Structure 1
Amino acid sequence: MPLFRRSASATGAAGGTREKAVLSPIPRDIKVLIAAAFVIALGYGIVAPVLPQFAASFDVGVAAASIIVSVFAFMRLVFAPAGGALVGKWGERRVYLVGLLIVAISTGACAVAQDYWQLLLFRGLGGAGSTMFTVSAAALILRLAPPDSRGRVSGAYASTFLMGGILGPVVGGLLAGFGLRMPFVVYAVALLIAAAVVAIMLKKPSAATGDEVAVPEPMDLREALADPGYRAAVVSAFANGWATFGVRMALIPLFAAAVLGAGPETAGLALAVFAVGNALALTFSGRLSDSVGRRPLVIAGLVVAGLSIAAIGFTDSIPLFVAASVTAGFGSGLLGPAQQAAVADIIGSSRSGGKVLAVFQMATDGGAIIGPVLAGALADRIGYDWAFAVTGAVALAAALLWKLFGRETLAKPAQPDG
């Protein structure tokens, strides 16, 4: 499929034709994966509000109930290398479906758990399955996306996931009225439906296209780490996990209560407007990274997010707190698609990137786990202003690394003849 098609509709002054770049259409298989991502994110959001309460219903303390939330992310982190290896061995499509089924079965098992330890085991298994379909979905999308549309595809995938994540808690809160087990049942059924849709609609590659009959040759991790663009992407993924997935979720509610004297509704508002800012940036950041390049969008996103998150710790009023939150979300929306597209550029369309993507995901998950712990310790000892300032500094340091050492991965289009 040509990346740029010749258009005769535009004429020059001399009456001849000139070249007009036309973006390649998004393949149907990617649209199937994007639709499945919405169902997955919706279901994850459905169980999120009730999971700690369900764990606490087994007569355990706050710490034990929190571990139920953390074990999912922990298992994603430790199982990521195995998930990446499976993608290289079995192919993306098979690993995606198996991972989806594991999460569906483990979620259904959570609904019938009889004690805390059963719930902990089943939730941990779900984290392992989540890594399998996350890594394989990323590998499929990044391999199937036309090179001139990788940013646009990454933006569409992120937007769909964001929408599901926003709507999910609302649906979950309503379902909780039927009992704390009901959201798990609904999520499990939704995952089974998503798996069936993907199995039917996602094309089964032939030997000519690779995957299950002829698995594409995997990219060697050492080769990826030798690329300054990939090294910069791993660092920025860690910083993004620390700031936007870790500290934002863990410290913003505590900051709102301890410093601003506000209730949970203010913390919820801050998290919601972060999502609004993120969604606003995602409407154009993917397309922009396909035209101006990945590097400028990554750097801009890290700078905007870093400065905004650092500013949160110095706010003394709710309007400033909310404004900083929405700006941080905007920066995260600038960063995400460009960063994903940069990794896709490095892997290319002809190879499987299971292990390479697994390390990239591990960097994000590692930041999301380490960030709240270190920032929380800083908040306890020297204050929230330092906790948020150090978090912002991590993002700014990643931006500086991209500026000094990261390379532009977007290939320039071939110039037309004549």
Structure 2
Amino acid sequence: MRSNKTGSPSDQDTHTASLVAIPSWIILKVEPMPHNLTGFPRTTRTVRMLPTRSARPARALLPLGIALCLSLFGDLTLYATLASHRESVGISVAAVGIMLGVNRLVRLPANPLAGILLDRWGRRIPFVSGMALGTAAIAGFAVTHGFWPFLLTRVAWGLAWTLLNVSGMTMILDLSTPETRGRLSGLYNVWVLLGMALGPLIGGILVDRWGFRTALLICAALAAAGLAIAAVLLPETAPSRDANRAPNTTLRLRHRFFQGLTLDRSLLIPYGLQLITQLAGEGIVLSTVGLLLERRFGEVITAGSIRLGVSTLSGLLLGGRSLLAAASGVIGGRISDRAGSRWPAIMGSLIMGMAGFILLATTSTLSGLTLGIALGAIGGGSGLASLAALVGDRAPSGQEGSAMGAFATAGDIGSMAGPFLAF
């Protein structure tokens, strides 16, 4: 007589216990097997183990943030020192502006393409590839000489940062839920802004102590350390796709490119606001602080018994601005998570940013200028985190990379156009 038992109670208990022991960040996809010829009932078979969006944010965010921070030192060292050490590279004064701007120009078409790449290949490989390319580019800053070789390294850095930034923002979408997306976006920005604050300071010290080329080689070594951290510790965060759904290979690259730029109409509002905030903050304010100080207070500024040069005070204000923006990004992102809507935090950040911008345009005192920079930093930091979270909320499933690529493009357009409008 044929038995219909599929397993003993002890076997079933062991099977149940093994399922309970599976971590929450792993899911098992199972598919039914057909009824076999012997008449035994259907069983299930495991297809593969896949990470989900709830996968351990801290495990990914720490190596991601450290790698991003270290990667920025070389680029920001150039912003602080290239103009005064252009002879070391063999370029003219006019070429300095080209070198410092071409990396942003490259990112405009590259951001949407990187987003498409992320949606098809996952997040980890593009990020680690960006770290490798960025490390090579920073080393190139130190060893190349002449306009065209140095320009090539700057183009390479622009492509590297595209992969790093779009991958990083997309990973945050993977790791977060609507209840945590604002806070995690703010924490991501902390690492980026920390690199922006420390990069010029540490780079300037290294250049003064050991010279331009040696300083950049040290920055390349720091980036290589970030590459090693990412290669060893950074997990894949991309959500699983339906195993039965074959990728659509009939879409042309041109169609996917414009799809990445437009996506859903509901995303056009956060894209537009990102362009405006980056235009005002990273474009106009960042490029004119030194000029404002010089025109309103002269080459040397006296505050009580302290006398500071314009460059020193400008560096201090911009460094403090980055740190304040980092802190406000975490707070603003958390507020947007708890408010049940992103818009209160976004509107508050816009009001603060406008108040700071108006104050910078009208004040004649150092305290007023400092307050204007502080208000702009708070508005910019909280707005960036909240807008990134809003894009994550509205991004179509499977197109998170394309959505963040277009978001990054909007910001790059604003930050690149700002200096042209300001001067």
- Structure of larger gyration radius: 2
Question: 1:105-124 to 2 correspondence within 5 Å?
Answer: 105-124=136-155
1:67 corresponds to: 98
Say yes or no: does 1:359 pair with 2:406. Answer: yes
1:413 corresponds to: none
2:214 corresponds to: 182
SS at the partner of 1:146? coil
Distance (whole Å) between structure 1 residues aligned to residue 242 and residue 387 of structure 2:
25
More strand per residue: 1 or 2? Answer: 2
Say yes or no: does 1:344 pair with 2:392. Answer: yes
Bigger drift between 150-159 and 250-259 goes to 250-259
Distance (whole Å) between structure 2 residues aligned to residue 138 and residue 216 of structure 1:
23
Question: 1:232-243 to 2 correspondence within 5 Å?
Answer: 232-243=269-280
Counterpart selection for 1:259 from 296, 299, 302: 296
Counterpart selection for 2:372 from 320, 324, 329: 324
Say yes or no: does 1:369 pair with 2:416. Answer: yes
Q: What is the Cα deviation at residue 204 of structure 1? A: 4.6
Say yes or no: does 1:191 pair with 2:223. Answer: yes
Say yes or no: does 1:125 pair with 2:156. Answer: yes
Counterpart selection for 2:351 from 284, 287, 303: 303
Question: 1:129-144 to 2 correspondence within 5 Å?
Answer: 129-144=160-175
Say yes or no: does 1:201 pair with 2:233. Answer: yes
8 A Cα contact 2:353 2:375, kept in partner: yes
Distance (whole Å) between structure 1 residues aligned to residue 261 and residue 394 of structure 2:
7
Q: What is the Cα deviation at residue 267 of structure 1? A: 2.6
Deviations along 1:333-389, whole A, 9 cap, x unmatched?
Answer: 2211111111111126x524222211111111101111221232xxxxxxxxxxxxx
Distance (whole Å) between structure 1 residues aligned to residue 92 and residue 296 of structure 2:
26
Q: Flag structure 2 segments of 5+ consecutive residues without an equivalent.
A: 1-23, 26-53, 300-309
Say yes or no: does 1:294 pair with 2:326. Answer: no
Give the TM-score normalised by structure 2: 0.75
Distance (whole Å) between structure 2 residues aligned to residue 203 and residue 258 of structure 1:
50
Q: Flag structure 1 segments of 5+ consecutive residues without an equivalent.
A: 3-22, 377-418
Deviations along 1:93-145, whole A, 9 cap, x unmatched?
Answer: 11111111111112112211122321111111111111112112211221122
Bigger drift between 280-289 and 101-110 goes to 280-289
Q: What is the Cα deviation at residue 32 of structure 1? A: 2.4
**Residues 246, 33 of structure 1: CA spacing in aligned structure 2 closer, same or farther, 3 A cutoff?**
same
Identity of aligned residues (%): 25
Q: How many residues are treated as equivalent by the alignment?
A: 354
Query: Cα RMSD (Å) of the superposition?
Result: 3.1
Distance (whole Å) between structure 2 residues aligned to residue 316 and residue 55 of structure 1:
34
Counterpart selection for 1:313 from 338, 351, 361: 361
SS at the partner of 2:181? helix
Distance (whole Å) between structure 2 residues aligned to residue 134 and residue 60 of structure 1:
29
Deviations along 1:248-288, whole A, 9 cap, x unmatched?
Answer: 12122112212332532333343234234324423421211
Task: For 1:230, give the aligned amino acid.
Answer: L
8 A Cα contact 1:162 1:279, kept in partner: yes
Task: For 2:280, give the aligned amino acid.
Answer: A
1:20 corresponds to: none
Question: 1:28-47 to 2 correspondence within 5 Å?
Answer: 28-47=59-78
